Structure 1
Amino acid sequence: MRLQKIIVLALIAVFVSLPLVTYAADQKADLTSEQIYEKRMDLYKKVETLTSVPWQYLAAVDTYERGLRRALNDRPKEDGFISIYFSENEWAGSLNPNKQDTHPLSIQMFGGIGLDGDGDGVADRLNDEDVLYTLAHQFEQYGVSEEDFRIALWEKYKRDQSVRIVHGHALVYEKFDRLDLNDHAFPMPLNYNYSYKNTWGDRRGWGGRRIHEGTDIFAGYNVPIRATAYGRVEIKGWNKYGGWRIGIRDLDNIYHYYAHLSGFEKGIEEGSIVAPGDVIGYCGSSGYGKPGTQGKFPPHLHYGMYRDNGRLEWSFDPYPSLKQWERKAYQDRKKKK
């Protein structure tokens, strides 16, 4: 037994002392968006073939963590095509004296999770294929059904909201069967009369002192309200502040809040998958009271945006995004003439 222990320690010492081998991530600077999507899909499909984990599960986690990198200050920007993040302790093992260890055997000895996904004998925490394969291997241990996926997500994030968001991303990818789902639409058709200004942060008095967490777009009753992004309906129903409202989560982990509706579009339910421009409801003046309360203010859409960072969610000013989407809609209309 003592001899075995000496041999193991000797092997560890050898592996830890070997020079660190690193491989530069693929450069994205000169690639088009279409080429980047193609490269990512190639990676997802390759790992799906190796592990049987559906590509949309891998894409959903990658997309979620791409949003986290934008929202968190303690995560570096990804260099490669994959945004999934493992800490040094997770990858190499918390007791591993070499936190940059890339040798699969010594990583395994110290309880790390890092694996060699591209067959080069190196388990590199900054290598796209190694990272994606390591994630898929974790998920594969739970199974490949939808329920197995949700269980694996819980074990990874230990947060119900994160599970819901990532699962929703997977359903969006499953429906559209592609990655280029970043288009947006202005929430009202341009051929209707509407007006708006930046009202985010204004004081509100009804229901207690609070700030206005959105932009009000004034229009007539029953003007169609449209989804601004690809996403999944997380909530639909009555809110005493927002009246009849819908909440949709997009692939940037952003929650889009549509309030004061007069009603909902037929077929739109919690769990519905929507695309930019899909009608989801109609402009109204509902809210500020019990279910059914109408007419306490002029008809308008209250549009809010909330970002999730994996720990909490906060509102941010939607006005710049609305102006950008509106300009794009006018440009697209001119091109069609």
Structure 2
Amino acid sequence: MLFLRLTLLFAIIVAVLTPMTTLAAEQEELTTEQKYEKRLELYQKMESVTTIPWAYFAAVDTYERGLRRSQKDLPKEEGLVAIYYSEDEWAGQLNPDKKDTNPISIEFFGGVGLDGDGDGLADRTNDEDILYTFAHYLESFGFTEEDFRIALWEKYQRVQSVNITYGHAKVYQKFNTLDLDDHAFPMPLRHNFSYNNTWGDRRGWGGRRIHEGTDIFANYNVPIQATAYGVVEIKGWNSYGGWRIGIRDLDNIYHYYAHLSGFEKGIEEGSIVSPGDVIGYCGSSGYGKPGTQGKFPPHLHYGMYRDNGYTEWSFDPYPSLKNWEREARKKK
């Protein structure tokens, strides 16, 4: 009798845990290309149901995937979709059952969770339920680009988060694919250049500070290339970086290109770029009023800054640069 009870208990435990472990295992087994394919199927299915452009779902999902990687208090997504709802948001703050999947009781307690795949459950870890719930939120604002921006503001209450997510949507709309992971070294390999890991070194001009980037030394007017798919956030002059460009990629990372001698024609704030696109030219501008040049040898200052939904911080770009250079040489 004891053996039968233990066997039954084991069977129950396995039945409860198997869906979760199987889901996690299935996601780990998928290649990056397969994940993109399945995500796109989900986005496009939701577009057909709601008429909301699939790029909007992709943009928010991408932004929040980046948040999950940078915020320690956010768990890793269990499925393919990273859009996050807390238990209180999903089930309702006053709901005594925080794991509630009943759409009726969830609605009664003011939760947002909805059934998106027609199985009668509103599951906070189900990709279709998550997307359908988010689609319902977007529909409450309307279907124009301005409505989308307003919905993002209400969700994040932060202008930078709105701009980053909206930028992601424009990138997806232009290239019509999720497979946008390629990178490029910021200078063509046919030119002579040199660089070392200078991140964190002391700098004195303008007050004591650390060097938030890597200096790549090259001749004047060597073309400077975008290293990733993204949107030009900033173009112009600042007293430290001289003529500079800032580009936001799909990992929520800001790429900072400084000390340029000039910009490529047609590159403006809002421009969408691909890896290898020429955006400007190597120079020695900066450390003074607009137009100041020649206070140091020509080089590109390249910096990378990660956004976590609250603020941004600099991190060492040197490992990425070495990796992109190796990959570029392999392709060559």
Which residue in the other structure is 1:300 paired with?
299
- Deviation of 1:100 (Å): 0.7
Q: For residue 102 of structure 1, what is the amino acid of its counterpart?
A: T
Instruction: Give CA deviations for 1:11-55 in whole Å, capped at 9, x if unaligned.
Output: xxxxxxxxx999543622222221111100000001111111110
SS of match in other structure, 1:28? helix
CA distance in 2, matches of 1:134, 1:229: 31
CA distance in 2, matches of 1:175, 1:283: 28
Q: Is the 8 A contact 1:258 1:301 kept in 2?
A: yes
Instruction: Give CA deviations for 1:55-76 in whole Å, capped at 9, x if unaligned.
Output: 0000000000010011010111
SS of match in other structure, 2:281? strand
Which residue in the other structure is 1:120 paired with?
119
CA distance in 1, matches of 2:230, 2:277: 11
Instruction: Give CA deviations for 1:182-227 in whole Å, capped at 9, x if unaligned.
Output: 1100000001000000000000000001100000000000000000
Q: For residue 38 of structure 2, what is the amino acid of its counterpart?
A: K
Structure 1 segment 291-330 matched on structure 2, within 5 A: 291-330=290-329
CA distance in 2, matches of 1:304, 1:256: 6
Which residue in the other structure is 2:255 paired with?
256
SS of match in other structure, 1:238? strand
Q: Is the 8 A contact 1:92 1:112 kept in 2?
A: yes
TM-score (norm 2): 0.93
Which residue in the other structure is 1:93 paired with?
92
Structure 1 segment 240-279 matched on structure 2, within 5 A: 240-279=239-278
Q: For residue 287 of structure 2, what is the amino acid of its counterpart?
A: Y
SS of match in other structure, 1:59? helix
CA distance in 2, matches of 1:100, 1:211: 47
Which residue in the other structure is 2:287 paired with?
288
CA distance in 2, matches of 1:56, 1:134: 16
Cα RMSD over matched residues?
Answer: 1.2
CA distance in 2, matches of 1:23, 1:301: 51
CA distance in 2, matches of 1:228, 1:202: 23
Instruction: Give CA deviations for 1:104-161 in whole Å, capped at 9, x if unaligned.
Output: 0000000000000000000000111100111111001111110000000001101100
CA distance in 1, matches of 2:156, 2:52: 18
CA distance in 1, matches of 2:32, 2:316: 26
Which residue in the other structure is 2:138 paired with?
139
Which residue in the other structure is 2:206 paired with?
207
Which residue in the other structure is 2:9 paired with?
none
Which residue in the other structure is 1:15 paired with?
none
Percent identical: 75
Structure 1 segment 83-232 matched on structure 2, within 5 A: 83-232=82-231
CA distance in 2, matches of 1:249, 1:160: 14
Instruction: Give CA deviations for 1:79-100 in whole Å, capped at 9, x if unaligned.
Output: 2111110001100011111111
Gaps of 5+ in 2: 1-15
CA distance in 1, matches of 2:250, 2:223: 23
Q: Is the 8 A contact 1:22 1:124 kept in 2?
A: no
Q: What is the number of equivalent residue pairs in this alignment?
A: 314
CA distance in 2, matches of 1:113, 1:80: 19
SS of match in other structure, 2:68? helix
Runs of 4+ aligned residues of structure 1 deviating over 2 Å after TM superposition are 20-26
TM-score (norm 1): 0.92
Gaps of 5+ in 1: 1-19
Q: For residue 288 of structure 1, what is the amino acid of its counterpart?
A: Y
Which residue in the other structure is 1:5 paired with?
none
Q: Is the 8 A contact 1:23 1:127 kept in 2?
A: no
Structure 1 segment 71-90 matched on structure 2, within 5 A: 71-90=70-89
Structure 1 segment 26-37 matched on structure 2, within 5 A: 27-37=26-36
Q: Is the 8 A contact 1:244 1:262 kept in 2?
A: yes
Q: For residue 204 of structure 1, what is the amino acid of its counterpart?
A: R
Which residue in the other structure is 1:68 paired with?
67
Q: For residue 86 of structure 1, what is the amino acid of its counterpart?
A: Y
Q: Is the 8 A contact 1:243 1:261 kept in 2?
A: yes
